[in-house]
Amino acid sequence: MILRVVKYGLSYPLLADTEASVSTLYGTYGEKNMYGRKYMGISRETFLIDKDGIVRKVWPKVKPDDHASEVLETIESLHRYWYVIITLSTLP
């Protein structure tokens, strides 16, 4: 499902992966374990994908603090047009 976010003034579409199909393809959906309880969920990772659809960098186990600045620095250092897909973990 593609969403256009008007509330925040974004001028690009966002992907809402409600069926976990994209997350499964990127290997971020699977069994998780928290406090001995196993459940299916999404791991928090960021994928930097170029305009040709090639994954150029992956950040596993992302922590939100300062992550956006790290991604922007990488994009600026590559001097190309990129797209970013961020998968966020779900809470149990």
Contact at 8 Å (CB) between 42 and 90?
Answer: yes
CA torsion sign for 28, 85, 10, 68 is: positive
pLDDT for residue 10: 67
Q: The domain spanning residue 55 has which CATH number?
A: 3.40.30.10
pTM reported for the whole predicted model: 0.67
For residue 16, tell me if it sits in a domain.
yes
Q: 27 lies in which domain range?
A: 2-87
For residue 92, tell me if it sits in a domain.
no
Give me the average pLDDT of each 10-residue run along the chain (92 residues): 60 76 89 92 85 85 84 78 52 41
pLDDT for residue 80: 55
pLDDT for residue 83: 55
3-state secondary structure at position 70: helix
pLDDT for residue 78: 78
Q: Centre a 10 Å sphere on the Cβ of residue 46 and count the other Cβ atoms it contains.
A: 19
Question: Number of folded domains in the chain?
Answer: 1
Contact at 8 Å (CB) between 42 and 29?
Answer: yes
